[in-house]
């Protein structure tokens, strides 16, 4: 080794990151090329490439052919979270999980839902509403529409036994999706269902998933007040 220690890509990654953190290479700075770094660290260019690729993936550096690699000016910061199945989430808190199916009916959706699922206004979809409990306390209110044309098999599933959430995650893959979070006030109906007072602030997430060009499902989850969603940076 031309310069200390091991030369795994993780190690090279670590060293480069250190140079960025301690401002040896400040934001915007052009850092040495792969060949030079390989010489410096006494490893192959492939290894440096791997390290830099990972740094680029997490947004620490920007890379461009011919132009080289420079430290990102960090205009944006990426946050990430793993959204587990509701049951897992409840059980991870050490609470007992139970869910109650409020509705399970194939019917004509509202115009807004039809548009979201990209189906004709005259077509039908499966509407599911349920409440998920943690230790018998309402935890999440679920309002879901499933495109039965995309997932015809869903009609044979006993959704009182296995929650739609869980069944879909385990049986239906998707190719793309969107996830939106917002804060909403409880209305009278929801407050009643979850045992809350009216106008409490609750966190709402809406997820829509697609299998190639066909919509799979769109679901809105309303979390009980005080719920925190954690992300990593």
Binds a copy of itself by CB under 8 A, chosen from 24, 110, 176, 187: 176
Q: What are residue 200's phi and psi, to 5 degrees?
A: -75, 150
Q: How far is the CB of 26 from DNA (least distance, A)?
A: 17
Q: Which stretch binds a copy of itself (CB under 8 A): 31-39, 106-114, 128-136, 201-209?
A: 201-209
Contacts 24+ apart (CB under 8 A), 152-158: 154/126, 155/106, 155/126
Site string for a copy of itself, 34-73 (x = CB under 8 A): -------------------------x-------------x
Q: Quote the CA–CA distance of 105 and 130 in Å, as a whole number.
A: 12
Q: Are 57 and 136 in contact (CB under 8 A)?
A: no
Minimum distance, C-beta of residue 5 to DNA, in the bound complex (Å)? 11
Instruction: Give the dihedral sign, CA 16/21/25/26.
Output: positive
**Residue 17 binds DNA (CB under 7 A):** no
Residue 43 binding target from DNA, a copy of itself, none, CB below 5 to 8 Å by type: DNA
Distances (CA, A) of 102 to 130, 163, 198: 5, 12, 21
Tell me: does residue 179 bind a copy of itself (CB under 8 A).
yes
Residue 80 or 120 with smaller CB distance to a copy of itself: 80
- Contact between 173 and a copy of itself by CB under 8 A: the answer reads yes
Residue 83 binds to a copy of itself (criterion: CB under 8 A):
yes
Contacts of 21 by beta carbon, 8 Å cutoff, 6+ apart:
none
Scan residues 39-98 and list those touching DNA (CB under 7 A): 42-47, 49-50, 52-53, 56, 63-69
C-beta neighbour count of 102 within 10 angstroms: 13
Spatial contact of 225 and 200, defined as CB atoms under 8 Å apart: yes
Q: What is the C-alpha to C-alpha distance for residues 227 and 85, in angstroms, rounded to an integer? A: 16
Task: Choose the stretch contacting a copy of itself; rule: CB under 8 A; options: 102-110, 124-132, 138-146, 221-229.
Answer: 221-229
Task: Retrieve residue 228's tokens.
Answer: 């925190």
Instruction: Please state, in angstroms and rounded to a whole number, the distance separating the CA atoms of residues 109 and 93.
Output: 35
Q: Which residues bind a copy of itself (CB under 8 A)?
A: 20-21, 23, 27, 59, 73-85, 88, 169-171, 173-185, 199-204, 207, 209, 211-212, 223, 225-233
Q: Which residues bind DNA (CB under 7 A)?
A: 7-11, 33-35, 42-47, 49-50, 52-53, 56, 63-69
């Amino acid at each position: 080794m031309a310069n200390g220690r091991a030369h795994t890509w993780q190690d090279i990654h670590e060293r480069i990151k250190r140079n960025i953190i301690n401002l040896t290479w400040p934001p915007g700075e052009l850092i040495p090329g792969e060949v030079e770094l390989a010489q410096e660290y006494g490893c192959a260019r492939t290894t440096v490439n791997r390290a830099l690729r990972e740094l680029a993936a997490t947004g620490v550096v920007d890379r461009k052919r011919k132009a080289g690699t420079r430290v990102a000016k960090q205009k944006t910061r990426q946050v990430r979270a793993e959204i587990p199945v509701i049951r897992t989430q409840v059980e991870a808190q050490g609470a007992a999980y139970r869910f109650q199916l409020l509705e399970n009916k194939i019917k004509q959706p509202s115009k807004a839902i039809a548009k979201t699922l990209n189906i004709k206004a005259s077509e039908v979809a499966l509407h599911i509403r349920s409440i998920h409990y943690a230790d018998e306390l309402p935890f999440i209110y679920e309002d879901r529409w499933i495109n039965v044309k995309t997932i015809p098999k869903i009609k044979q599933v006993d959704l009182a036994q296995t929650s739609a959430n869980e069944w879909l995650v385990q049986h239906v893959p998707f190719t793309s999706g969107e996830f939106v979070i917002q804060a909403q006030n409880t209305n009278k109906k929801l407050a009643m269902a979850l045992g809350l007072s009216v106008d409490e602030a609750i966190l709402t997430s809406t997820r829509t998933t697609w299998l190639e060009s066909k919509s799979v499902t769109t679901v809105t989850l309303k979390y009980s007040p005080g719920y925190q969603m954690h992300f990593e940076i």
